[in-house]
Amino acid sequence: MNMPALVLERVSFAYDHQPVLTDVDLVVAENELLGLIGPNGGGKSTLIKLAAGLLKPDSGTVRVCGRSPSAARQEIGYVPQFAGFERDFPITVAQAVQLGRLGSGRLRWRKKDREAADRAIAETRLEPLQNRPISDLSGGELQRVLIARALAGEPRLLLLDEPTSNLDQRAEEDILQLLARLSERMAVILVTHDVGFVAGGVQRVACVNQTLMCHDTQGLTGDAIEALYGHSVRLVHHDHGEHP
C-alpha cells in the first residue's frame, strides 16, 4: 500500500473571517498530476499554501507523505507565483537553484547538495544558462529556474502556483511536458488559470471554489470540453454530486 503524497481532511480556512476554503477533502496519490482550476479568489493558491505549510488550516488536517507539512518539508517542492518575483535581484541561475537545498540548520553546501542542484539544472535544461543572472532570462526560463530550485530539494510532492501565467504557448507546453515527466516519480499539483493547460498530461482536475470538486480525466466525452476549451482534451469529468 502506498502512502498518498497529500491528504486534506475537512480542511477549512478563512482570511479575516472571510471563508476561502470550507470542508475540503482531497487525496493526491504519489505519482499523480493534479490540476487545480477555479475562479480568482476561489482558494487555489490558499490550498497550495496550506499543503506547503505556509498557512495553517483553521480546522481539519493536512498531511504530506503522512506527516504535517512542517515535519515533511524536505518532501515538498514549492514553486511560487511568478508574478510576485523580483526580476532584478542579483543572483545567478545556479545560485538560485542551490537555494532549493537550504534546510533549517545547515550553513554550508555539501557535495550531495551541489549534485542535487546540478541534477535539477540538467533536468530543466538550464545548463547553458546556469551562470547567467536571472534578470537576463525570459519568462519561460525563469519559470524553469523556479521549478529547478524546487526539484533541487528532491521532493515527493511538487506544488506549483500558476506556473504558466505570463508565458507564451511554447514555453507553456515546455513546462507542461516537464511536469508530466516529473509526475512519473513524484506527485505534482499545479494551479492554473489556463484551461488549455489542463488539457495536457493532467490526470485529474480539481475545481476549487471555496469547496472542492474533483474530476477524473477519464470517462468524459471530449466533445463538450473541446468546445468549451477550444483545445484537444482528454479529461475532465464533472461530477458535482460528490459534495452535496
Partner 1 sequence: MTEFLAALSEHAFLQRALAGGLLASIGCGVMGTYVVVQRISLLAGGIAHAVLGGMGVAYFFGHAPLNGALVAAVVAALIIGFVKLKLREREDTVIAAIWAVGMAVGIVFITKTPGYNADLMGYLFGNILMIGTRDLWLIAALDLAILLLVGLFYRQFLAVCFDAEFARVRGVRVDRYYLLLLVLVALTVVMLIQVVGLILVIALMTLPAAIASRFLSSLFAIMVAAVLLGGLFTTAGLALSYGPDLATGPVIILLAGSTYLLTAAVRGFGRQTGR
Residues interacting with partner 1, by CB under 8 A?
52-54, 70, 73, 76, 78, 80, 85-86, 89-92, 95-96, 99-100, 102-104, 107, 109, 133, 135, 149, 153
- Whether the Cβ atoms of residue 83 and residue 165 lie closer than 8 Å to each other: yes
- In angstroms, the CA 44 to CA 39 distance is 8
Q: CB–CB of 163/147 below 8 Å?
A: yes
Read off the C-alpha cell for 13. 480556512
Smallest gap, in angstroms, from Cβ of residue 104 to partner 1?
4
In whole angstroms, the minimum distance from the beta carbon of 29 to partner 1 comes to: 22
Q: In terms of CB distance, is 143 or 217 closer to partner 1?
A: 143
Closest CB to partner 1 among residues 91, 213: 91
What are 157's strand-pairing partners?
76, 187
Alpha carbon distance, N-terminus to C-terminus of the chain: 30
Minimum distance from residue 189 beta carbon to partner 1 (Å): 14
CB of 66 to partner 1, least distance (A): 18
Q: Which helix (H) or strand (E) holds 34?
A: strand 33-37
How far is residue 207 from each of residues 37, 74, 173, measured CA to CA in Å? 5, 28, 21
Question: Least distance to partner 1 from the beta carbon of 161, Å?
Answer: 10
> Least distance from C-beta 46 to partner 1, angstroms?
13
User: For partner 1, which is the closer residue by CB, 95 or 209?
Assistant: 95
Q: Which residues pair with 216 in a beta bridge?
A: 204
Grid cell of 97 as nine digits: 537553484
Cβ closest to partner 1, residue 92 vs residue 166: 92
Burial annotation 74-110 (CB, 10 A radius, 16+ → b, else e): ebbbbbbbbeeeeeeeebbbbebbbebbeeeeeeeee
